[in-house]
């Protein structure tokens, strides 16, 4: 029943690998080491002189 009504149509099955890539990237940047890297990629959050765009990195994201 679920596959009939909620399954992925055959013409969109090629998007499944892309969906997995996006999901894994989200895990990396959302809850993994990318979250730690992202805290300082646009400057040190505790030092306004290093902010790349003049705003905290969390606002830049």
pLDDT, average across residues 41-54:
84
Q: Average per-residue pLDDT in the chain?
A: 86
**Confidence band, pLDDT 50/70/90 cuts, at residue 61:** low
Q: Could you tell me which residues come within 8 angstroms of residue 35 by beta carbon, excluding any fewer than 6 positions away?
A: 29
**Confidence band, pLDDT 50/70/90 cuts, at residue 35:** confident
Q: Could you tell me which residues come within 8 angstroms of residue 18 by beta carbon, excluding any fewer than 6 positions away?
A: none
* pLDDT score, position 11: 93
Q: What is the sign, positive or negative, of the torsion defined by CA atoms of 33, 39, 40, 44?
A: negative
Q: Considering only CA atoms, which of 32, 24, 42, 31 is closest in space to residue 16?
A: 24
């Amino acid at each position: 029943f679920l596959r009939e009504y909620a399954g992925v149509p055959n013409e969109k099955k090629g998007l499944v690998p892309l969906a997995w890539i996006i999901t894994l990237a989200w895990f990396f940047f959302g809850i993994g080491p990318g979250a730690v890297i992202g805290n300082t990629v646009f400057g040190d959050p505790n030092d306004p002189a290093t902010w790349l765009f003049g705003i905290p990195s969390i606002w830049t994201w």
